[in-house]
């Protein structure tokens, strides 16, 4: 997420032994075409940069890091080995299918399970991102099966959905990721075959598929699905307001795509795909026709639109944050009339709000401010607020949208930066504890979220390194006076 100064404490690169350094630099260099880009808005950036050769040589104008394919793919080796170790005829094996198979296995569900997942979708998810209009869907006699399965894909992550995650030939429920993998493969197959001709249905399917990310190509596929959804929306003029005869449902669909476009720019390091100058609709009118939860997401996305400018290639180097006119979460709730929402919905949106607030400050290694600024204080306080929230609510009760692990992961990145740069022993200890709290939450969310699992693994690895080697304060003082290698003691 950020460019960082060399650490002054226990996470210094000098803690790596000479043998480890030789192994580290002996890794093969990846040609740019074999590398993957992780933008500074992605919380993985600061942690991955510590373990990938070549990613540390960054220009001040850089907006992220290029990670070697060997480093990126290594994060998924465990999942691949798990796939290979599962029995060939087990339900888990049938769920965790490869995207390269010629045709996916059947994903047919019984009507009761399918309808229950659809109900969960409309109860928990659609009030925030109104991708599918419930009234239109309920009143349509011949419903699109691909739209139904796309809703089931997203709803399967919810805690209430566990007992419905099964198919006709497998009466025992699958895990959330196994079920979603099979449904996603079936959806992708259907879309590629052109089985959905209705443009609105196709936009809905692709937008819902963009909320799913699994495997090494997951973020690429998610971004591509959203690009296709936006493309089809522009083809039929969603951005121009040519939907007055649809009761506002298509307008709400457009603004859901706008929210996802901004989020995709942050998480997946892509340029924004819907620019304000190209929109023929008024955002104020979107607030009028949207539910309170959607209004909150619109407000957060407005903030994110401003923040993204800090991370663009043309961003001014002397501007390190949004210092003025930054709306508080409580004020957003007031303005959106959202205090009556369920508490776990408000909490979920608050985590996303604070995640976005974290990236409203972009510290640069070459120009760290001597005094705190409003944005740097906001960053630190927002990370602390996320930890406080996680101490009072189970992550499994949060709304299962990728916005949630994104916010928690940004808190991990912030505390990791504090751990590396803080000189105070108390502050380093607190940072370790905060990272551990966030990692535990991400480990729970990893039951359905691959990005949460990736960040949990990176965070746990950082904690293990800190536990293994901690520099002695006495040694730090004497090392300034005497030359020679530092000695290390267990934490």
List phi, psi (to 5°) of 452.
-65, -40
pLDDT at 384: 97
Number of C-beta neighbours around residue 90 at 10 A: 14
319 — pLDDT class (breaks 50, 70, 90): confident
Q: What is the mean pLDDT of residues 294-301?
A: 98
Nearest to 75 by CA among 465, 463, 452: 452
pLDDT mean over 282-286 = 91
Q: How far apart are CA 223 and CA 210, in angstroms?
A: 6
- Find which of 1-15, 132-146, 310-324 is predicted with most confidence, using mean pLDDT: 132-146
pLDDT at 240 over 50: yes
Retrieve residue 425's tokens. Answer: 């022993």
Q: Is the predicted pLDDT of residue 7 greater than 90, yes or no?
A: no
Q: In the structure, what pLDDT confidence band is assigned to residue 60 with cuts at 50, 70 and 90?
A: very low
The average pLDDT across 106-111 equals 88
pLDDT of residue 4: 34
Q: Please, which residues have CB within 8 angstroms of residue 479's CB and are 6 or more apart in sequence?
A: 486
Better-scored residue on pLDDT, 217 or 212: 212
Q: What is the pLDDT of residue 241?
A: 76
Whether pLDDT at 381 is above 90? yes
What average pLDDT does this structure show over 94-114? 69
Residue 258 in this model has a pLDDT that exceeds 70: yes
Percent over 70 (pLDDT), the chain: 72
> pLDDT, tens digit, for every residue of 127-174?
999 999 999 999 998 999 999 999 999 999 999 999 999 998 888 899
What's the confidence (pLDDT) of residue 355? 97
pLDDT of residue 290: 95
Strand partners, 489: 470
pLDDT value, residue 475: 39
User: How far, CA to CA in Å, does 480 sit from each of 147, 268, 476, 484?
Assistant: 65, 43, 7, 10
pLDDT at residue 22, rounded to an integer:
37
- Average pLDDT over the chain, rounded to whole? 80
Average pLDDT of the residues in 412-428: 88
Residue 224 banded pLDDT, cuts 50, 70, 90? very high
What is the structure's pLDDT at 275?
84
Of 97 and 189, the structure prediction assigns the larger pLDDT to 189
Rounded CA-CA distance 361/320 in Å is 6
In this predicted structure, which of 122-136, 155-169, 445-459, 471-485 has the lowest mean pLDDT? 471-485
Helix (H) or strand (E) holding 488: strand 488-489
Q: Phi-psi bin for 54: left (phi > 0), alpha (psi -120 to 50), beta?
A: left
């Amino acid at each position: 997420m950020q460019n960082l100064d060399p650490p002054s404490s226990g996470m210094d690169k000098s803690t790596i032994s000479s043998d480890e350094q030789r192994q580290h630099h002996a890794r093969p260099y990846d040609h740019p075409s074999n590398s993957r880009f992780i933008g500074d808005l992605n919380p993985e950036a600061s942690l991955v940069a510590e373990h990938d050769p070549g990613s540390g040589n960054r220009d001040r104008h850089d907006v992220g890091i290029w990670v070697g394919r060997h480093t990126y793919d290594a994060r998924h080796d465990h999942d691949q080995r798990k796939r290979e170790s599962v029995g060939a005829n087990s339900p888990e094996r049938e769920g965790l299918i490869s995207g390269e198979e010629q045709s996916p296995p059947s994903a047919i569900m019984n009507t009761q399970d399918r309808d229950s997942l659809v109900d969960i979708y409309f109860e928990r998810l659609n009030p925030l991102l109104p991708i599918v209009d419930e009234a239109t869907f309920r009143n349509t006699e011949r419903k699109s099966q691909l739209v139904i399965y796309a809703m089931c894909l997203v709803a399967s992550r919810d805690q209430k959905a566990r007992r419905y995650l099964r198919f006709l030939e497998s009466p025992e429920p699958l895990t959330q990721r196994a079920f979603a993998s099979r449904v996603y493969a079936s959806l992708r197959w259907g879309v590629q075959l052109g089985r959905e001709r209705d443009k609105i249905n196709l936009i809905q399917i692709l937008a819902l598929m963009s909320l799913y990310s699994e495997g090494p190509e997951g973020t690429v596929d998610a971004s591509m699905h959203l690009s296709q959804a936006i493309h089809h929306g522009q083809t039929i003029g969603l951005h121009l307001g040519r939907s007055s005869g649809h009761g506002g449902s298509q307008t709400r669909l457009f603004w859901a795509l706008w929210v996802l476009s901004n989020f995709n720019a942050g998480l997946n390091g892509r340029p924004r795909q819907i620019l304000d100058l190209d929109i023929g609709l008024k955002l104020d009118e979107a607030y009028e026709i949207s539910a309170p939860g959607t209004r909150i997401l619109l407000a957060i996305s407005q903030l994110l639109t401003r923040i993204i400018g800090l991370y663009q290639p043309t961003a001014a180097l002397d501007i390190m944050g949004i210092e003025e006119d930054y709306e508080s979460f409580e004020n957003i709730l007031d303005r959106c009339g959202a205090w009556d929402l369920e508490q776990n919905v408000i909490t979920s949106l608050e985590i996303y709000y604070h995640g976005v607030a974290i990236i409203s400050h972009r510290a640069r290694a070459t120009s760290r401010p001597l005094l705190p600024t409003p944005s740097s204080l906001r960053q630190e306080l927002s990370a602390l607020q996320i930890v406080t929230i996680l101490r009072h609510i189970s992550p499994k009760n949060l709304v299962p949208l990728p916005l949630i692990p994104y916010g928690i992961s940004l808190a991990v990145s912030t505390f990791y930066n504090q751990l590396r740069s803080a000189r105070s022993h108390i502050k380093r200890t607190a940072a370790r504890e905060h990272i551990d709290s966030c990692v535990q939450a991400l480990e729970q969310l990893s039951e359905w979220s691959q990005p949460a699992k990736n960040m949990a693994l990176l965070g746990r690895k950082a904690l293990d390194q800190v536990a293994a080697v901690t520099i002695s304060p006495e040694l730090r003082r004497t090392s300034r006076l005497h030359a020679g290698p530092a000695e290390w003691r267990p934490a």
